Amino acid sequence: MLNTLLSWRSIFQIGRVHKSMIQLLRGMSFLILMSVLSPSFAESSNPSFPTSSDKSFPQTIDDAIKQDGTARIIVFLDMAGLSPRNGVRQSREEMIAEVQDDFLKSLSSSQEPDAFGSMSIDETNIKKFAKFPFLRMEVNASLLKQIENNSLTQTVELDRLFFPNLSKSVPLIGGDEAWNMGYTGKCQAVAFLDTGVDGKHPDLVDKLVAEACFSVSGSNSLCPDELDEKIGTGSATYCPEPGNVCSHGTHTAGIAVANGDVKGVAKEANLVAIQVFHRNGGGLSAFQSDIIFGLEYVLELHEQGLDIAAVNMSLGGGKYYNQCDIGYSTLTTAIAKLRDVGIATIVSSGNRGYDDAIGAPACISHAISVGATDKSDNIASFSNSANILDLLAPGVGIKSTVPGGSYAYMSGTSMSAPHVTGAWAVLKSAKPSATLDDILTVLQDTGKPILDTRNDITKPLIQVDAALEMLNPPKPILLYGVHDAGLNNSHFFTIDTTRDVTELSVYPGYDIEGLDIHPQSCQLYASAGDDTSNPGHLYLVNKENGELTDLGSTGSQEVDALSFSPDGKLWGWAQDEGLLRFDDLPSATATLVVPYEGEIEGITWNESGTTLYAVQNVHKGHDPDSHGLDGNVRVLAYDGSEVTACELDGVKEIEALDTLPDDNLIIGYHEHDKLVIGVLNFESCSITHEEEISSPYNDVEGIAWF
C-alpha cells in the first residue's frame, strides 16, 4: 500500500494541509504547583544526536577531518585532583578558567605541522565554557593528536549537529510509519488544558480552531484584561510571565500537532488551546474548578460539531496508590462525561519518581494515565508508576515548540502525555467510528512491553503503526466527488490512495453542482443547480455515507461552485449572478459580493488564500447545455487586483476544480469517456497530467481534495 500511496501522491503533488475547524462552584481549590507540572521547568535533558541520512554529514572526528580538513570538537578537561592555588579559595568557575588556560598553554608550544599545516592556538577557533570544564575548538589532524595525548584531556567528541524536529521520539512510537500509511490526524482536533499556546509559532500557525481561558480573577489572572474567563481569539495566548514558566503549553501542544521544522505525532490535527493557570507566588497553579470549566468548554465545542479526539492535561499532584474517583467526584464526573461522548482525557502520571503511585487527576478511572520512557525505551527515573498506569510514551529530551518561534528540549511525563494525545488523533482520524475503548485497547495490545525494574510492573509503550494495523481502518480518502447521471441523479463517491472508487450514495433529481470541505471542521458542503425541486440549496454531506442535510436556500437559483478560503469562509458562484459569500454557516443565506452575468463551473482558492481561480467553458455556436466541443476552456485567476486567464483549446469541458499545492489545480471533466482526473498548472497554462480511473462516473460536477 505504501508504494501505491506514494506514487498516487507524487502524481498530484500532495501536500495540502487542511487546517482543520457556565458556571460551577469554585469552592474547592485544586492547586497544581509548577514544580509538579513537569521537571521541564527545572530540568532539561540533552538529546541524542540523530543519525543523518546525508552520507556527506560526518559521523566521527576523523570523517570530518578527511572531508573538510578540520573538525569542530568539544574537549572535556580533567579536573580531578585540582586544588586551589596558593591556598586561595576559588569558585568552581575560576578553577575551570585556570584549567582551560593551562591546557591551551600546554598546546601552544608543541605544534607540529601535518599535510594541512599547523594550526595556531588563538581565540578565533576556541570557545570557553564558563560553568563546565569544556572547550570548543576547530582542529586539524595534527592538533587533534596533540589534544588526545594531553594529560589534561578527559574526552574529545565531535561537536555534532542536531535537527529541529521530533525524529528521536515520533519514530519510537511508529508515528512516522503512520504518516507513510496516510494517517496524520487530519480532521481531528485535540484540546490542551495548560499554560496557553503561542498560536503564532510558525509550526503551529493556523492550527488553533478554538481558544478559551479560565483563571482566577484579578492581578493573578492569566486571562486577557485580568478576567476570570474569556473565550475567543487571543484568550489562550501564552502567558506573559518572565522566564520560561509559560512555555509548557506551547511545548506540549507542539509534541502532538506541530507541523513545521518540528512535526508532532498528529501533524495535521487541529488544536484547541485552553489556559487554566494563574499566578501563585513565583509559580503557577490551577484550580480544579477552572479545569472543569475547561473540560466543559471542550464538551460545548463537541456539541457544536467540532471533532475532538482527546483532551491533554499535562498537570497533576499528590500520591495515589489506587483510583481516586471518590476524592475528586466533580472532576471525575466531567472526565466521565467526555468519555461518554468519545473524547479521551489523557493525563501525565507525574514526575516524583514514585514506583507505587501516580498523581491526580491521572488516578481518575476514566482518565488515560501516561508514564515516561527515555529514548532507549527504559522507564524514566522521574516517572510515576503503579499498577493503575495505562500507557507509556517518550518523555526524555523531547524537542518541541516554545513561545516566540523557538524550540527547546524538555523532559517529563508532561511530554509523554501529548505523544499519546497525538496518537489518539491519528487513530481517530483513520477510523472515526472507533470508540474510546477500541483505541485504548489497540494501544495497549500493540504497545511494546516495557518492564519497570523498580517495581517489576510491565506497561505498553505505544506503537501507532501497529495500533493502526489492528484497528484496520479504511484506506485514506484523497478525493470526494459528485457525478451527474441521467436526469441529474447525483452520485457521491470517493477515491482513495489506491485509486479505488467507492460510491457513498445516490440522490435522484438533486442536481448537485458544487462541493468543498471546510478547512478546520472538515465538514463536506454541497450546492445545487436549478434542475431540481430545491434549486440553489446548500447541503451538508455526511463523509461516511453521503447522507445529505438540507441547510436551506442560498437565495440563488443555481449555485454551480463552492470553495472554502483557508480562513474557513465559504464562497460560491451563482450562475448569471456572480460570487457569493456565506457569512453565517451553517445558515445557507449568502451575500452577493461580485456581480457577474455569466457561467462559472468551478472555483477554488489557493493555499494561502491570495488567489481565487475559476473555470469557464466558452461555448460558441451551440446551447451551453448541449456541452459541445466547438469552444475552449478558460481558467481565470484573480489575485485581488487583476484577473489573468489561461486558455485551453481542444479539451473536454471542465466542471470541477480544486487546489493542489503550489497552485496546481485538480480538475474533473464533463462527459468524458471514463472517469478522468487531471492536473492543471496555471503558470504554464497546461494540463500536466491526466489519470484514468476505472469507474462509470464520467461526468464530474464537483470535487473536494482531501
Question: Which residues are known to be catalytic?
Answer: 194, 248, 414
Q: Are the CB atoms for 237 and 196 separated by under 8 Å?
A: yes
Q: Are the CB atoms for 666 and 12 separated by under 8 Å?
A: yes
Among 682, 676, 594, 674, smallest CA distance to 634 is for: 682
Q: What is the residue-wise DSSP string for 516-558? A: EE-TTT--EEEEE-SSSSSTTEEEEE-TTT--EEEEEE-SSS-
Cell 483505541 belongs to 439
State which H helix or E strand residue 250 sits in: helix 248-257
Cell 475547561 belongs to 294
Instruction: Classify strands 189-194 and 308-313 as parallel, antiparallel or unpaired.
Output: parallel
SS3 assignment, position 249? helix
Instruction: Say which residues have a Cβ less than 8 Å from residue 48's Cβ, sequence separation at least 6.
Output: 168, 375, 397
Residue 517 gets the label, from left (phi > 0), alpha (psi -120 to 50) or beta, of beta
> Cα 590 from chain centroid?
32
Query: Directed axis angle between helix 248-257 and helix 413-430, to 10°?
Result: 30
Q: State the number of CA atoms in the 13 A half-sphere of 294 facing the CB.
A: 33
C-alpha cell of 513? 453542482
Q: Return the exposure string of 563-589: e unless at least 16 CB atoms fall within 10 Å of the residue's CB, then b.
A: bbbbeebbbbbbbebbbbebeebeebe
Residue 483 vs residues 479, 517, 617, 706: alpha-carbon distances, Å: 13, 17, 18, 17
For residue 226, how many other CB atoms are within 10 A of its CB?
A: 13
Q: Are the CB atoms for 158 and 70 separated by under 8 Å?
A: no
CA distance 679 to 25: 58
Strands (E), 47-206: 71-77, 126-128, 134-139, 153-158, 189-194
| Helix, strand, coil tally for the chain in percent (to 5) | 20, 35, 45
Cell 440553489 belongs to 536
Q: Using alpha carbons only, what angle is made at residue 543 by residues 537 and 548, rounded to the nearest 5 degrees?
A: 30
CA distance 374 to 172: 10
CA distance 385 to 380: 10
Cell 468524458 belongs to 672
Cα radius of gyration rounded to whole Å, the chain: 30
End-to-end CA distance of the chain: 18
Q: How many residues does the chain have?
A: 706
Q: What are phi and psi of 609, to 5 degrees?
A: 75, 20
CA distance 384 to 414: 12
Instruction: Say which residues have a Cβ less than 8 Å from residue 469's Cβ, sequence separation at least 6.
Output: 446
Among 345, 216, 208, smallest CA distance to 277 is for: 216
For residue 489, how many other CB atoms are within 10 A of its CB?
A: 15
Among 629, 613, 622, smallest CA distance to 669 is for: 629
